[in-house]
Amino acid sequence: MKEEIAHQHVAGERIVPLDEALEDWAVRVAERVAEQLHYAAPKVKTALLAHPDLTRDWAPPVPTAATVDLPAAHPVTPSVEVPTASSPIMTQGLIPGKFHVLVIGNNDYRHLPRLLSARRDAEAVGKLLGSSYGFSVRVLTDATRAAILSAFNDYRKALQPEDSLLVYYAGHGWLDEQADEGYWLPVEAVMDNPVDWISNATITSAVKAIPARHVLVVADSCFSGKLTRGVRVTIRGSGYMERMASKRSRTVMTSGGMEPVLDVGGGDHSVFAKAFLGVLRENRVSVDTTTLFVAIRRQVMLAADQTPEYSDIRKAGHDGGDFLFVRQK
């Protein structure tokens, strides 16, 4: 479940153990590589810790003392074309279909602890996507299992092959370790009885059956990382946006991995929702979700002890595309 607590992080010089300093150094360098080449930061970090001399020409020096200054990022020259959120790449005409968003925000649980910001987060996401990105918006607040699954079924019947659908869920989540299965918890869920829970397998089946070209699930809930396949590696080059637009995609962005996530910490929103909304507000062009995710992930990791993930949804029919956000105004 979401933890109703906040964390405070202080930048600048601090005293840390040497092993932690090395870990921080590897994380920063790995993120720098990942931002440019969209490789998997954890694997890059592992390689850097084993062979730190690989970075001697461009990275910050390897820490050798317990006092560590946290410097600003150094630029890295990528070996492939890397569009960013400010790149003048437009996708008008690439996606002839319509954009839809289903936002689900559950605060007032009947049998579980109440959440503070889930409903407000969902409503804010729907408002922003409708006003600035031209999405058709459907909002479910304090939604039951039946209401959520009925909405999925409605989209299955209504959407066309060229359409795009985003599903944003903010609410409680749970991991059944014995069954190795993650769940969304609707508003009527009871902790010791999964009869009203929505399993990741159910979500996957629903997403797979929807005929839209692109479906993106954004889950701001505990243990939501169970939905992801793992590492998502994207090699960019000429025609990248056209390829992403033309290929079928079934992807998920989660507010964390296999850990609890914060329901507060972002002012009126959760830490993840604040970052998600902020990056979309600042974007002024047409952009793929992989690019947006880099900025979202970094903001969340700086503000909380949770690590967002982005990947294709396991066994849902992903074919190498990516969800695109086309700024309207």
Domain 99-326 = CATH 3.40.50.1460: yes
pLDDT tens-digit readout, 60-104: 554 443 333 333 433 333 322 333 333 333 444 566 799 999 999
For residues 317-328, give the mean pLDDT. 88
pLDDT tens-digit readout, 29-39: 555 555 544 44
26 pLDDT band, cuts 50/70/90, is low
- pLDDT of 306 reads 84
134 pLDDT band, cuts 50/70/90, is very high
**Taking 50 as the threshold, does the pLDDT of residue 273 lie above it?**
yes
Spell out the domain ranges in the chain: 1-79, 99-326
177 pLDDT band, cuts 50/70/90, is confident
- Summary mean pLDDT of the chain: 75
- pLDDT of 95 reads 64
- pLDDT of 317 reads 78
290 and 22 in contact (C-beta within 8 Å)?
no
d(CA 108, CA 319): 38
- Helices then strands, counting H and E runs in the chain, come out as 8, 15
- pLDDT of 180 reads 74
d(CA 98, CA 135): 7
- pLDDT of 33 reads 54
263 and 308 in contact (C-beta within 8 Å)?
no
Half-sphere exposure of 207 (CA within 13 A, CB side): 30
Q: Tell me which of 51-60, 119-128, 265-274 is least confident.
A: 51-60
| Three-state DSSP class for residue 142 | coil
pLDDT tens-digit readout, 148-159: 999 999 999 999
Give 301's contacts (C-beta < 8 A, 6+ positions apart): 307, 308
| Three-state DSSP class for residue 16 | coil
Cα angle at 132 between 130 and 137, to 5 degrees?
A: 10
- pLDDT of 223 reads 54
Q: What is the DSSP string of 191-240?
A: TTBGGG-EEHHHHHHHHHH---SEEEEEEESTTGGGGB-S-------TTH
For residue 257, give both structure tokens.
Answer: 């991995």
Q: Tell me which of 28-37, 109-118, 274-283, 307-316 is least confident.
A: 28-37
- pLDDT of 222 reads 67
Tallying the residues shown for the chain, one arrives at 329
9 pLDDT band, cuts 50/70/90, is very low
pLDDT tens-digit readout, 190-242: 988 999 999 999 999 999 999 999 999 999 976 554 554 444 445 555 677 78
Q: In this structure, what DSSP letter does residue 136 have?
A: E
State the first-to-last Cα distance of the chain, in angstroms, to the nearest integer. 36
pTM attached to this predicted model: 0.69
